[in-house]
Chains A and B, each alone.
Chain A
Amino acid sequence: MKLFLSALISVEDPSQTHHWLFPEKAEILYGGIASCIVFAGLYKFGWPMIVKAMNARTAKIQKELDGAAAARSKSESDASGIRTALGDIESERRKILAEADSQATAIIAEGRVRLVKEVAELEAKAVADLAAARGRSGEELRGEIARLSSAAISSAVAASLNDRAQQDLIEGFINSVGASK
């Protein structure tokens, strides 16, 4: 400090002889020694840390490079897998569409056959129902005719059963029973 102050004073003082820019030899000596000591200290204590930091950084960068390479490899593998999968999906899509077409064709054919069969059955049933209805109507008509005929016959027979007819029936019974042995 004293030296620095004296230097400042010397600058102010025109009587001083040393150069305004270059220091004194002693200062250079002391400064050089101090610098060497500083540099030696730096080399002794700072350089290993710098080397270690640089090595660590190198290792980190290398690690990052390795990670990037691995990621790239994985990405390429994934991309390959995706491309393969895309190919598989397309193939699967074609297969599914083909199966769907096949099933749709089969269902349509089966439905057509079933419809034809059902229509045939309905037609047969309708024909049978019609025939049955016709038969029922005929039977009902015949039944009604038979009932009316029976009633008419009963009425006519009852009206014709006078005393003479009754006696004839009784005599006929007696004669037939007597002759039956």
Chain B
Amino acid sequence: MSDARIEAYSRALFEVAQAEGNLNIVEDELFRMARAIEANEKLRSTLTDASIPAARRQQVVEELLGGKASNTTIQLVSLIIGAGRGRDLPAIVNRLVQRASSEQQREVAEVRSAIALSDDQTKRLAEALSKSTGRKLNLKVVIDPSVLGGLVATVGDEVIDDTVRTRLEQLKTRI
């Protein structure tokens, strides 16, 4: 999909979420959904398979997110999947997150962890990263078992990596 189209879709999602008054929640849920699609090949192929009727793909989305995400998020994801743009959903959501963060004068900080963080940990981590980078951050936590343990935070071009995976890689290199 062209950048213009991604921009247009992200702007539409942003406007809808803002109009519904739950931008932060929708943005966060969409972000998690996009990461889940990126990480799960089977889910990605199902949602982007043009041979599956759009109604069936939308039904999969509703079954997947039902009870776990807000209605607005479910409707927006269904809209993207129904329009046959499932393959571009991660890019659209990334653009949406950037837009929402810019709106709040914040920068996106993506943190990958092997396990979920508690609210307290998320809050303290956001504060620590803000203090470290000197910027206001919109923290997005991605559950990524491949990091094995520890955290890796990406803020713009800056990467703070203290994961077990990286340490093992360094150890392997030294060996």
Whether A associates with B in a native complex is yes
Q: Is A14 an interface residue (CB 8 A)?
A: no
Query: Given A150-B171, A169-B164, A170-B121, is A157 in contact with B148 using a C-beta cutoff of 8 Å?
Result: yes
Inter-chain CA distance A176–B161, complex, in Å, is 11
Q: A36-44, A48-56, A94-102, A158-166: which lies at the B interface?
A: A158-166
* B side interface size, CB within 8 A: 25
* A side interface size, CB within 8 A: 23
Inter-chain CA distance A116–B131, complex, in Å, is 76
Residue of B nearest to A149 (CB): B175
Residue of B nearest to A158 (CB): B148
Q: Which residues of B contact A71 (CB under 8 A)?
A: none
A173 pairs with B151, CB closer than 8 A: yes
Residue of B nearest to A171 (CB): B121
Q: B24-32, B34-42, B122-130: which lies at the A interface?
A: B122-130
Residue of B nearest to A151 (CB): B172
Q: Which residues of B contact A163 (CB under 8 A)?
A: 115
Q: Which residues of A contact B117 (CB under 8 A)?
A: 170
Inter-chain CA distance A56–B125, complex, in Å, is 150
Q: Which residues of B contact A130 (CB under 8 A)?
A: none
B151 pairs with A146, CB closer than 8 A: no
Which of A158, A169, A170, A181 is within 8 Å of B132, CB to CB?
A: A181
In the assembled complex, how far is the CB of residue A146 from the closest CB belonging to chain B, in whole angstroms?
Answer: 4
Q: Is B50 an interface residue (CB 8 A)?
A: no
Query: Given A161-B149, A169-B162, A181-B132, is A174 in contact with B121 using a C-beta cutoff of 8 Å?
Result: yes
A176 pairs with B168, CB closer than 8 A: no
B168 pairs with A157, CB closer than 8 A: yes
In the assembled complex, how far is the CB of residue A88 from the closest CB belonging to chain B, in whole angstroms?
Answer: 85
In the assembled complex, how far is the CB of residue B121 from the closest CB belonging to chain A, in whole angstroms?
Answer: 6
Residue of A nearest to B167 (CB): A157
Chain B, 113-147, contact with A by CB distance < 8 Å: what is the 0/1 string? 11101000100110111011010000000000000
In the assembled complex, how far is the CB of residue B113 from the closest CB belonging to chain A, in whole angstroms?
Answer: 7
- In the complex, which residues 154-175 of chain B have their Cβ closer than 8 Å to any Cβ of chain A? 160, 162, 164, 168, 171-172, 175
Inter-chain CA distance A158–B145, complex, in Å, is 11
Which of B124, B125, B151, B153 is within 8 Å of A169, CB to CB?
A: B151
A166 pairs with B128, CB closer than 8 A: no
